[in-house]
Amino acid sequence: MVTLAEVARHAGVSASTVSYVLSGKRSISAVTRQRVRDSIEHLGYHPHAGARALASSRSRVIALMVPLRTDMYVPVMMEIAIAVATTARVHGYDVLLLTGEEGPAAVQRVTGSGLAEAMILMDIQLDDERLPLLRGGGQPAVLVGLPADPSGLTCVDLDFTATGALCADHLAELGHRELAVIGEAPGVYERHTGFAERTLAGLRDRAARHGISVLHRPCGGGYGSLVGTLGRIFDERPGTTGFAVQNEAVVEPLLALLRQDGRAVPEDVSVVAVCPEQVATQASVRLTSVAVPAQELGRRAVELLMAKLRSRPGEEVVLLPPELTVRDSSGWAPDVNCR
Amino acid sequence: MVTLAEVARHAGVSASTVSYVLSGKRSISAVTRQRVRDSIEHLGYHPHAGARALASSRSRVIALMVPLRTDMYVPVMMEIAIAVATTARVHGYDVLLLTGEEGPAAVQRVTGSGLAEAMILMDIQLDDERLPLLRGGGQPAVLVGLPADPSGLTCVDLDFTATGALCADHLAELGHRELAVIGEAPGVYERHTGFAERTLAGLRDRAARHGISVLHRPCGGGYGSLVGTLGRIFDERPGTTGFAVQNEAVVEPLLALLRQDGRAVPEDVSVVAVCPEQVATQASVRLTSVAVPAQELGRRAVELLMAKLRSRPGEEVVLLPPELTVRDSSGWAPDVNCR
DNA sequence: CTGAAAGCGCTAACAG
DNA sequence: CTGTTAGCGCTTTCAG
């Protein structure tokens, strides 16, 4: 292994000079700098990460805790994770991948050992068990998601309350009076995962103001679950004409089932989805949707973390405003004359 | 920060004793061990990862390189990644997440710096640019996937050639004479990603032996792409009755389109998929399929790597045998009397 | 603008 | 069974 000392010898300078060439923390004459750089190149030198972390007490690693569960839409998680990794690299950081499996202990282990300087947590529950550790607050952290009490924490998320409201507004404007919400798997609500409950609350609240009814049904993944769910929705509220879907895994099955039922989209029923753009545009009917900005969330999380690593400000909550894109799946309610 | 020296002082022993209690590399009297453990617990001590890596030249971290691209089925990648992280923890290792973005340079950077001891690579192309670095072979590595020339490398993958053959056999036995293969996005083939080409080769080869025809069409994600692809398949080969699908994103669209066309599955056409079990069982018709054992791949990759970390054996290729599960999407070809 | 030298916290001989 | 000690490779004062 090539060491800094060898580079120094080869370049005919001292170790500290090489170190400063690398860090840029003091000025070096152009000629020396170049000689050092040549030696580094020539010898194929890579600074030893452990030694560096030991001497500087900065590992240049952040940890990312992803959920172990598989009942939520995985591509969104993956997209966030990749955006985190990519953005971290831009800032000179690497990313350690932790699964939720170890739970709060992982937080201790990783930051306690100096393996990571800071962490990003995903899949936040309203009353998440990892939060007390973070709030006490040795280790800088950013949550992708919003717990019930964000005090003393830094969070970034899509504004799901506003998202729900936006869906309600859109369907209300089109004259729909009876809405159904097809949600995530029951487990997601049982765990009190913030985003799912917030969307629902936002939608319900806004629908109430419009004086329209809302029926919410969680739904497992896949065609099989949806058949039952949809059947029960129409049994209970035959007049349902507006659907809000927050469950990517049933988007296509829903469109297929409606088609089979002889219900045309958007002539007979309208569908609004909360999902990534790709899902919305690739569906069999191009979906009116509120995009989940996965990349943006990952990027922002890292940037907030980097800011915290510099100076430790208090709490901060960044809620990205939702945007609804009208496509082909929503239209006037059947009983509305097109004004 | 609590250091080993502080623990030693608190327990009234020497630093090395604490170290050995932690590593178990020499025998310690029960009473001393307990005193040390109590002190560790009491002080909330966590060994410093960097110091440890520096002194032992072992970081207890492995790197996982995931593809940046998004034109392949993400859940499989994610499942492998999570299995890797989970299995690594069992062996006392953490996982560093690298995206393909940096390319071969990431391999150098991470192992050159001692940040990771070894790496696992995914999304292997037949002629992957990262391979020369690994074959030269300072750093132990395991590929999840199979390049054209695996000499000097350790690989683990599903046996996709056998997978293709299995699909061909199954459809041939049911009397189908004209097969169509709906494959991954064109880009996947253009990059010469091993698994896609192998499946096709295995299927073609076996089909030829059965004397039946095969038409292969790559297909982008989503409903839109498939409409065109499927149309062209039936234009070109109206007698097609057997489909092999290796593209999770079009499984449900395919079933929907066939239904709309008035082609019943499995009465008129049979469909065999290569996909995770979950996709097969949650589809609108339960699919006859060959499972992609994502978890198993991740687990095996880590285990192979751990073995390599102990003693460095030469090349080794582990191909998991495919298993075809018959469900509701495949049946006798229409012109076959049920014997 | 550059060197010398003192650690960072831990591991692993070596010595008993 | 336990203690002493010499580094691991780098950063960062302190001197010049």
Distance measured from the CA of protein residue B4 to the C1' of nucleotide D11, in angstroms: 21
Tell me which of B74, B97, B299 to substitute to probe the interface with A (most A C-beta atoms closer than 10 Å): B97
pLDDT at B117 over 90: yes
∠ CA B142-B123-B161 to the nearest 5 degrees? 85
Check whether residue B69 and residue B129 sit in a common domain. yes
- The residue of chain B nearest to residue A285, with distances taken between CA atoms, is B223
Q: Which residue is nearest to nucleotide C13 (CA to C1')?
A: B16
Task: Specify the pLDDT at position A71.
Answer: 67
In degrees rounded to 5, what are phi and psi of residue B96? -95, 130
Check whether residue A127 and residue A224 sit in a common domain. no
Check whether residue B203 and residue B240 sit in a common domain. yes
Residue spans of alpha helices (H) in B181-293: 186-190, 194-210, 222-236, 251-260, 277-282
A89 contacts B102? CB cut-off 8 A = yes
Q: Nearest C-alpha of chain B: how many angstroms from A267?
A: 19
Confidence of residue B102 (pLDDT cuts 50, 70, 90): confident
Task: Calculate mean pLDDT across residues A93-108.
Answer: 91
pLDDT at B314 over 90: no
A79 contacts B222? CB cut-off 8 A = no
Query: Residue A176 falls within a domain, yes or no?
Result: yes
- The residue of chain A nearest to residue B249, with distances taken between CA atoms, is A282
Task: Specify the pLDDT at position B72.
Answer: 65
E strands present in B55-177? 61-66, 94-99, 118-121, 141-144, 154-158
Check whether residue A286 and residue A170 sit in a common domain. yes
- Dist CA B206 CA B228 (whole Å): 27
Check if residue A310 sits with its Cβ under 7 angstroms from strand D: no
SS3 B3: coil
Mean pLDDT of chain B: 93
A95 contacts B97? CB cut-off 8 A = yes
- Residue A131: CATH number of its domain: 3.40.50.2300
Q: Name the residue range of residue B171's domain.
A: 160-292
**Joined tokens for residue B319:** 């191909």
Check whether residue A285 and residue A298 sit in a common domain. no
**Joined tokens for residue A259:** 């088609």
Distance measured from the CA of protein residue B147 to the C1' of nucleotide D1, in angstroms: 52
Query: Residue B329 falls within a domain, yes or no?
Result: no
Query: Residue B326 falls within a domain, yes or no?
Result: no
Query: Residue B52 falls within a domain, yes or no?
Result: no
Query: Residue A332 falls within a domain, yes or no?
Result: no
Q: Which residues of chain B lie closer than 8 angstroms to A102, CB-CB?
A: 89
Do A208 and A177 contact (CB within 8 A), yes or no? no
The 10s digit of each residue's pLDDT in A50-99 is 999 999 999 999 999 998 776 667 888 999 999 999 999 999 999 999 99
Give the number of domains in chain B: 3
Edge-first strand order for the sheet with B242-245 is B213-217, B178-182, B242-245, B270-275, B288-291, B324-325
Cα distances (angstroms) measured from residue A208 to each of A165, A169, A212, A271, A296: 10, 11, 6, 19, 31
Check whether residue B26 and residue B147 sit in a common domain. no
The 10s digit of each residue's pLDDT in A190-228 is 988 889 999 999 999 999 999 999 999 999 988 899 999
Check whether residue A187 and residue A144 sit in a common domain. no
Check if residue B54 sits with its Cβ under 7 angstroms from strand D: yes
Task: Specify the pLDDT at position B251.
Answer: 93
Task: Specify the pLDDT at position B100.
Answer: 84
Element (H, E) at A222: helix A222-236
- Dist CA A123 CA A86 (whole Å): 20
Task: Calculate mean pLDDT across residues B291-306.
Answer: 96
pLDDT at B222 over 90: no
Listing DSSP states for B293-336 in one string gives -HHHHHHHHHHHHHHHHHS----EEEEEPP-EE--SS----TT-
Q: What percent of chain A stands above pLDDT 90?
A: 82
pLDDT at B71 over 70: no
Distance measured from the CA of protein residue A276 to the C1' of nucleotide D16, in angstroms: 62
Task: Specify the pLDDT at position A339.
Answer: 46
Tell me which of A74, A76, A122 to substitute to probe the interface with B (most B C-beta atoms closer than 10 Å): A74
- Dist CA A137 CA A129 (whole Å): 14
* A32 part of contact set with chain B, CB < 8 Å: no
Check whether residue A68 and residue A153 sit in a common domain. yes
B249 contacts A252? CB cut-off 8 A = no
- Residue B173's contacts (CB-CB under 8 Å, 6 or more residues apart) are none
Do A285 and A273 contact (CB within 8 A), yes or no? no
Q: Which one is predicted more confidently, A73 or B82?
A: B82
- Dist CA A176 CA A166 (whole Å): 14
Task: Calculate mean pLDDT across residues A119-144.
Answer: 90
Full-prediction pTM beyond 0.85? yes
Q: Which one is predicted more confidently, B67 or A269?
A: A269
Task: Calculate mean pLDDT across residues B23-38.
Answer: 92
Query: Residue A254 falls within a domain, yes or no?
Result: yes
SS3 A155: strand
Query: Residue B276 falls within a domain, yes or no?
Result: yes
Q: Which residues of chain B lie closer than 8 angstroms to A281, CB-CB?
A: 222
Check whether residue B311 and residue B274 sit in a common domain. no
Check whether residue A287 and residue A316 sit in a common domain. no
Query: Residue B328 falls within a domain, yes or no?
Result: no
Task: Specify the pLDDT at position B339.
Answer: 45
- Which bases of strand C sit closer than 7 A to a protein CB? 1-13
The 10s digit of each residue's pLDDT in B136-168 is 767 899 999 999 999 999 999 999 999 999 999
Q: Nearest by CB to B284, which of A61, A81, A223?
A: A223
Mean pLDDT of chain A: 93
Task: Specify the pLDDT at position A109.
Answer: 92
Check whether residue A206 and residue A281 sit in a common domain. yes
User: Of the given ranges (A133-137, B205-209, B226-230, B304-308), which has the lowest mean pLDDT?
Assistant: A133-137
Angle between helices A160-173 and A194-210 (to 10 degrees): 30
Check whether residue B183 and residue B74 sit in a common domain. no
Tell me which of B48, B57, B65, B86 to substitute to probe the interface with A (most A C-beta atoms closer than 10 Å): B48
Do B268 and B331 contact (CB within 8 A), yes or no? no
pLDDT at A255 over 90: yes
Strand partners, B98: B65
Q: What percent of chain B stands above pLDDT 70?
A: 97
